[in-house]
A and B are shown apart, each in its own frame.
Chain A
Amino acid sequence: MSDQNNKPAVAFVREQPIPASPPPTSASGPVRWLQENLFPTWGNALLTVISLYVIYVVLSSSLPWILGGVWNTSSLAECREVLDGRSAACFSVLRERWNQLMFGFKYPPEFYWRPILAFFLMLVAAAPVLFPDLPRKMLVFTGLYPFVAFWLIWGGTILSPLLALAGCVLGYLAYSKWVSRSFAAGFFGGIAVAFVVWWLGGLLIPEGASDNAMLPAVASRDLGGFMLNMMLGVTCVSLSVPLGIALALGRQSDLPIVKGICVIFIEFIRGVPLITLLFVASVMLAYLFPPDATVDLFLRVVIMITMFSAAYIAEVIRGGLAALPKGQKEAADSLGLDYAQAMRLIILPQALKISIPGIVNVAVGLFKDTTLVSVISMFDIVGMIRGPILASTEWNGVYWELFLFAAVLFFVVCYSISQYSQWLERRLETDHR
């Protein structure tokens, strides 16, 4: 070799390509796992031991209480007798008052099948909305569901839900006719048409139409229990998402009046506690409507909760809209899509996807906030517990069991919503970034 000094050679040519090899396998096994995850250092080992001790203390006091619970007595006094000084739960109240916890204390027991049927139909109606892979034809049933459920739960003349349906259909037709002129014309025109239809139709429905109806009428004030929470939750979530979208888009509008209304609405509603809105619904709204218009308390509460959460959802969606690159709207425009098409096909699918965690957050909060109606003397599950059940002589004093049960019910629903939303986020993942 001529090159005798130790200078590194600059020129380099690879002659043999390096073949791909599998990654090094890391050591595994349960002992190894324990060592790495629970006892990696002395400090961590100490924390692990303390945590285990805390878990032990909690479980050792609560598990016997739950597992040793009594289910078959007819009052708290009997429970105490059976337990004979032992500390354990008295779950009998759940058994004995099950119907009241679920349906309230005034819903006629012979009609319990109606809300139960409505509940199962709701699962069918929600499925195509929640799971994009299901056939789109199922959405027809979803569209009809609100009217079916209304009829099932409240009963009375079938003319009312039919009228409501007619208003929606005609409103939609008006929207699709005018939307080509401008989106605002279609949107507000459609709403106006729907209201006119409802008002005119309301005059046409005869006075005693509900008296001999196929499904006897049940008054709103007779609804109660967890059914009322579910009804408020489902209705308000499904109304506040579209309203929130409309508000978010309105806030970005070029029309100063629309924009102004949306901004004031959102800022005002967000600045007020929900409980005050509910009091307004229960007391004051009656003064705002014409004296003979008996707007149902349920409807008033739905309006208030919907407005409240729609304002929050609008802000969540505004964040999603702001996160989209400007080029998306421009590309949609340059292809000749009109405003409604660009929003529906391009902007909202992306903005909503970004907003899913925020919307779910609001929805979960809303669902739990439906218990606030107990404050305005509606007998939802919390209202039932605090009112008729705890006030009864048999069950006076059974706090833990009842509120634990209510908490478990809410937890199951809210945790399912949360799990669903995480699944949906993964399902919609198409960025591959």
Chain B
Amino acid sequence: MAESARLQVSDEVAISITNMNKWYGTFHVLRDIDLTVYRGERIVICGPSGSGKSTLIRCINALEEHQKGKIVVDGTELSSDLKNIDKIRSEVGMCFQHFNLFPHLTILENCTLAPIWVRKIPQKEAQETAMHFLEKVKIPDQADKYPGQLSGGQQQRVAIARSLCMKPRVMLFDEPTSALDPEMIKEVLDTMIELAEEGMTMLCVTHEMGFARQVANRVIFMDAGQIVEQNEPEEFFNNPQSERTQLFLSQILGH
């Protein structure tokens, strides 16, 4: 991908977070988060463990509730109204660290369940869509197996396909490769890179810095519940401004 094309995104706003705060009981996990994601942007979020990365992206599809501030996804504001929450969730796909496939359903059923029940798509059509995306993540031949019969890398690719079957406008990834054996990381990253090249809006919590360099237009560094630094990947890695970022980068790149 040419550098200029990579950084070029539309000026349509996909997600806008303003002055968002969240507490777990009295513990202030997210502090004054301001973040605007434009359509087609690929954002990588990194930071030390416990800094609130997962919490941030889980707030975006209301898996966690925020207590202050505003989150607007695709023009719909996240409030306690269940209708809005369900609408946003069906527009936003999410992949988890531990895949969270449904073990009692086959791979194909995992992929067709939400389209059939949420989008009310006929079963036949949902199966065709599912096979299309399973082919895309290169495991169409596993469609009739159960998740427990697949390797970790395959399961994570199924999880990506399952989200894609809902035709989401935004994809969230929470450390999608950190539960995988090293030889499986690449197959998942390749799938994600392909997705990025097709112009999917992505927010990705990951420590795969190679991936960040290759596809991200922005890298965000979080610490102690705050956004400490954000920049284009080249600048971010070559010329980090804040001390905490430098320390973090030296720890994960330093060996």
Contacts and interface: CB of A to CB of B under 8 A. Distances in A.
Contacts of A333: 61-63, 89
Interface residues of A, number: 24
B224 interface: no
Nearest to A428: B104
Dominant secondary structure at the A interface = helix
Contacts of A325: 98, 100
B149 A337 contact: no
B89 A431 contact: no
B104 A349 contact: yes
A335 B114 contact: yes
Contact of A328 (B61, B92, B100, B117): B100
A331 B96 contact: yes
25 contacts: A182-B82, A325-B100, A328-B102, A330-B63, A330-B96, A331-B96, A331-B100, A332-B102, A333-B61, A333-B89, A334-B63, A334-B89, A334-B94, A334-B163, A335-B113, A335-B118, A335-B162, A336-B86, A337-B118, A341-B117, A353-B104, A428-B104, A430-B104, A430-B146, A432-B149
A433 to B, nearest CB: 6
B89 A335 contact: yes
A418 interface: no
Contacts of B146: 430-432
Interface of B: 61-63, 82, 86-87, 89-90, 92-94, 96, 98, 100-104, 113-114, 117-118, 146, 148-149, 162-163, 166
A30 interface: no
A248 B93 CA distance: 30
Nearest to B145: A432
Given A182-B82, A346-B102, A428-B104, A335 B148 contact: no
B148 A336 contact: no
Contacts of B94: 331, 334
Q: List the 10 shortest-distance A-B pairs measured between CB atoms, nearest first.
A: A336-B90, A331-B100, A327-B100, A432-B148, A335-B114, A334-B94, A336-B89, A336-B118, A430-B146, A431-B148
Contacts of B102: 328, 331-332, 346, 350
B63, B102, B148, most chain A CB atoms within 10 A: B102
A54 interface: no
A345 interface: yes
A79 to B, nearest CB: 57
Contacts of A222: none
A338 B117 CA distance: 9
Nearest to A330: B63
Interface in A303-334: 325, 327-328, 330-334
Contacts of B100: 325, 327-328, 330-331
A196 B22 CA distance: 45
A86 B146 CA distance: 64
B104 A338 contact: no
A328 B63 CA distance: 12
B55 to A, nearest CB: 13
A431 B103 contact: yes
A343 B63 CA distance: 16
Given A327-B96, A331-B96, A350-B103, 8 more contacts: A325-B100, A334-B89, A334-B93, A335-B113, A337-B118, A341-B118, A430-B104, A430-B148
Interface in A347-367: 349-350, 353
Given A346-B102, A430-B146, A431-B148, A338 B90 contact: no
B175 to A, nearest CB: 13
Nearest to A339: B82
B149 A338 contact: no
Contacts of A338: 82, 86
Contacts of A345: 113, 117
A272 to B, nearest CB: 36
A182, A325, A432, most chain B CB atoms within 10 A: A432
Contacts of A331: 94, 96, 100-102
Nearest to A341: B117
Contacts of A349: 104
Nearest to A347: B102
A330, A353, A430, A432, most chain B CB atoms within 10 A: A430
Contacts of B162: 335
A331 B94 CA distance: 8
A327 B103 contact: no
B63, B82, B87, B104, most chain A CB atoms within 10 A: B104
A349 B94 CA distance: 23
Nearest to B90: A336
Contacts of B148: 430-433
